[in-house]
Amino acid sequence: MTERAAEINGPRQGGVFEYAPAPESRSIVDIKSSYGLFVGGEFVDSVDGRPFKTISPATEEVLAEVTEAGPRDVDRAVSAARAAYTAHWAPMRPADRSKYLFRIARIIQERSRELAVLESLDNGKPIRESRDVDIPLVAAHFFYYAGWADKLSYAGFGPNPRPLGVAGQVIPWNFPLLMLAWKIAPALACGNTVVLKPAETTPLTALAFAEICQQADLPPGVVNIVTGAGDTGRALVEHPDVDKVAFTGSTEVGRLIARSVAGSNKKVTLELGGKAANIIFDDAAIDQAVEGIVNGIFFNQGHVCCAGSRLLVQESVYDEVLTSLKRRLATLRIGDPLDKNTDIGAINSAEQLDRIRKLSEIGEEEGAERWSPPCVLPDRGFWFAPTIFTGVSQAHRIAREEIFGPVLSVLTFRTPDEAVEKANNTPYGLSAGVWTEKGSRILSIAQRLRAGVVWANTFNKFDPSAPFGGYKESGYGREGGRHGLEAYLDV
């Protein structure tokens, strides 16, 4: 490259052009200094809760003060949901419920840039993921279920399916607004009212959604948002006037919820942890597969329940795949989540960062070889470099336990039978990926994999019309698609 070309195109290091910073503006977001609870269509002060702070994981700055709802607050929210269900929402014409959902979907689209910035600030994920993946899918889910609201008698659940009543919903911090949409959209379409508890580390987009409900003139009490931590979620799940419980989160908490509702009449869906296998056969398009591997485990910093955290590579292409993968990881950019060039943002919390570090150290102690590309991590905030472990056996903890971070364990196989055996050798069963040019092999392997979702020559692709859920310790029930309606209907 000539000196003149260098002046025009910018500096170059190791054959890769450097990017100038391209930050998204924070000014588009108006974060209040403090938030109450959203009950009965209004933001109200807590009766028996206490305030806590939500921080930006990228900078550790305090973003807002939020209320931790106590048992009496939860009771008030459930009562508001019950009153709205009885008086307004359940008796309403399904076509009118549909109009409200369409209105919410359009407002989400109109406020998409604001919501994307708020999600990245509160969660730590790169703005291009929240802007290009999360928020469009949020709107798509409300549009999709708006279309179902007046067609439930044709959904295959009988000629006159009825709503359940009040749904208590608890969502995680990895996809805060998207998980809200997965829960609230089908519940409202079926005629239920909702009390939702977002994760304590990422409450801000749920509170913004409460404002959207007001903007859409949704009848008071149809959607209620109570913020808080585990005690708030427990009070909601165990409330005697909740008819349906929906939870997305860890398998450990899912077990506790299953025990707490056992013997009651509550309907329950649980979407829990995963340890997905991403299987690369020797006839796969290697460059395409490498992009799928990166998307499978490093998307959203690996904070994905269906992340492809176990890479199974056929021995004959192991060296080629690993070389290409390391080369690709060296190009990933880590840093400011609001920079449009960022590939990997911040870990969501200090607690999660500590878990990732501990399990990675255990991987080294058990004999696996650790590698990360050269990268400089910011001084403040919660950060972890993308990491690959090789020399991993199925006995290693990093191959068995969900790390929920940007950490990939690489194993090998020789035959398709061995690939299936290793892929299924896990207590989880949420997702899997298969990479091969043979369509017959895709169908054969997918049929034998004990996973709720199997992607072929891609990974982490979602659509509101497609059901999602797992087997074994990954939970039970399905969300999304026509199947996602059943969990909110008395059938």
Q: Which amino acid is at 324?
A: S
* Total residue count of the chain as it appears in this document: 491
User: Which candidate, 248, 244, 237, 239, places its Cα nearest to that of 265?
Assistant: 244
Which residues are within 8 A (CB) of 390 and not within 5 positions of it... i.e. 6 or more apart?
322, 368, 369, 371, 410
Contact 420, 414 (CB under 8 A): no
Q: Which of 190, 213, 305, 306 is catalytic?
A: 305
Instruction: Return d(Cα 218, Cα 212) in angstroms, integer.
Output: 9
Of the candidates 200, 271, 402, 486, the residue annotated as catalytic is 271
Which amino acid, one-letter code, is at 175?
F
| DSSP run (H or E) holding 251 | helix 251-261
CA distance 205 to 122: 8
Helices (H) and strands (E) in the chain, counts: 17, 21
What would the two tokens of residue 165 be? 């009543």
291 to 178, 282, 316, 458: CA distances (angstroms): 23, 16, 19, 9
Task: Report which DSSP code applies to 376.
Answer: P
**Residue 375 annotated as catalytic:** no
User: Side chain identity at 49, as an amino acid letter?
Assistant: G
Q: What single string gives the DSSP state of each residue in 434-489? A: EE-S-HHHHHHHHHH---SEEEES--S---TTS-B--SGGGEES-BSTTHHHHTTE
- Rounded-to-integer distance, Cα 171 and Cα 205, Å: 12
Distance CA 488, CA 269 (A): 10
What is the Cα Rg of the chain in Å? 23
| Interacting residues of 282 by C-beta distance below 8 A, sequence separation 6+ | 314, 316, 317
Give catalytic status of residue 271 as yes or no.
Answer: yes
Structure tokens at 15: 């054959």
Whether the CB-CB separation of 488 and 167 falls below 8 Å is answered with yes
Coil, strand or helix at 329: helix
Q: Which residues of 430-469 are buried (b: 16+ CB within 10 A; e: fewer)?
A: bbbbbbbeeeebbeebbebbbbbbbbbbebbebebeebbb
Q: Which residues contact 458 (CB under 8 A, 6 or more apart)?
A: 292, 433
The residues assigned a catalytic role are 271, 305
